[in-house]
Structure 1
């Protein structure tokens, strides 16, 4: 039996386990998810507090609290397929980068704080902010920083590539994995949503070679940069 497709009428939290202890991501209003009929039936009968789902567009998995089922609307499979937008090419993506940055600047101008798993206004985590900003102009990128790094075209030239351009994503982390991301805005600066302990507790500008504590903290973890030149292809539910 094909998975059921649902449309969200509002923003919904998606958790990283069936305990609901921590966010994995958020389902913005207007997004789609799929889930198995057996999971849904059990949740509706209150045999499950959380049901496992997959968000469409980025194929990101998580757990939905059964009480949020009332915020979803069942969607016909063919109707979902018919509304899938065209995939922008590299040229279209480049043209839309100023709008991506404008989205982030607007988010920064609104009172906000860092939220692990946050992908909807006003509170974001680092990669959630990037995903939301690109999605606002029809460019779909993966959810997590390490996935975004792998998805983009890696720029050659070490940690600070010579051909770094406005709109490139900057990645930070350890020797094996990217754990943080920001977007380059020129003049050695990038915007990112960073945490409370070593960051700005929200969206702010840092410098790649700055002397302030936040810039210095992330400079120690700089991995490199990647350019977004493609959008994820549409997910057709199974």
Structure 2
């Protein structure tokens, strides 16, 4: 595993976030890739210029950490150990994940590309945070969540399932929402589709102004059968 002279040696080979952390899309550290809430763990996998390449342990997500933020992480005494959660237990936790998303919607917030830390989320960041709040880890991005979940038909949707959307100009899934039952689906969306943050819309063609814009983009639906395990391969 690569090491860096900028960081104290870690007995586990991993580091723990002391505070909420911004991680970037490149070594220039100009575009937000994702965030890591305090307590998450990461490993250093490379370095370039004034940044180090890191990989988050819970979801295998790679990104760049600015060296100026190196004081925000510390050696982790123990390596991250994933607890696998199976479908029967996930079903008991779905209510809590939906409650998390509803509570996030009730707070002042806005849509943030790369956001996974309250109060500002992107679409897949909200899904990951909602399920992580009940101990169920998902992959980070919407297309990865689409590949990770078990495909179901739209008429089989149950609360806690994910709905995926795809923009016409995209070559893969580009948006994800959490199905909440008869009320519709919870999702964080940007101003280009009429909302700057989290809302709930019916899964119909004409149930709401925002929903009518997303409904033609529906791609597929997925059911979470187990929690993400490092090395599952969905974040490559």
Q: TM-score with structure 2 length normalisation?
A: 0.87
**179 and 148 in structure 1: CA distance in 2 versus 1, 3 angstrom threshold:** same
Residue in 1 that maps onto 2:71: 70
CA distance in 1, matches of 2:142, 2:230: 20
RMSD: 1.9
Matched residue, 1:16:
25
> Structure 1 regions of 5+ residues with no counterpart?
43-47
Residue pair 1:33, 1:54 contacting (<8 A) in 2 also: yes
Q: Indicate the SS of the match to 2:69.
A: helix
Q: Distance in 1 between matches of 2:55 and 2:120?
A: 22
2-side partners of 1:104 and 1:94: how far apart? 16
> In the alignment, is the contact (CA less than 8 A) between 2:201 and 2:207 conserved in 1?
no
Match of 1:204 in 2: 199
Please, which runs of 5 or more residues in structure 2 have no aligned partner?
4-12, 232-236
- SS in structure 2 opposite 1:94? helix
Q: Once the 2 structures are TM-superposed, how far is the Cα of residue 213 of structure 1 from its aligned partner?
A: 2.6
- From 102, 106, 109, the counterpart of 2:103: 106
Q: In the aligned structure 1, how far is the partner of 2:135 from the partner of 2:208?
A: 35
**Distance in 2, Cα, partners of 1:101 & 1:19:** 36
| Aligned partner of residue 14 in structure 2, secondary structure | strand
**Tell me, what secondary structure is at the counterpart of 2:186?**
strand
Corresponding residue of 1:150: 147
- 1:158-173 alignment to 2 at 5 Å? 161-173=154-166
Separation in structure 1 between the aligned mates of residue 55 and residue 98 of structure 2, nearest angstrom: 28
Q: Which residue of 2 aligns with 1:45?
A: none
Q: Structure 2: how far apart are the matches of 1:17 and 1:86?
A: 31
1:53 aligns with 2:54: yes
Shift of 1:211: 4.1
For 1:229, which of 204, 225, 232 is the aligned residue?
Answer: 225
Where do 4+ consecutive residues of structure 1 move more than 3 Å?
Answer: 1-4
Name the CA distance, whole Å, in 2 between partners of 1:35 and 1:227: 32
Report the secondary structure of 1:54's partner residue: strand
The structure-2 alpha-carbon separation of the partners of 1:208 and 1:105, relative to structure 1 and needing over 3 Å to count, comes to same
Give 1:234 shift: 4.1
Distance in structure 2 (CA, Å) of the matches to 1:30 and 1:52 = 19
Shift, 1:20, TM fit: 1.6
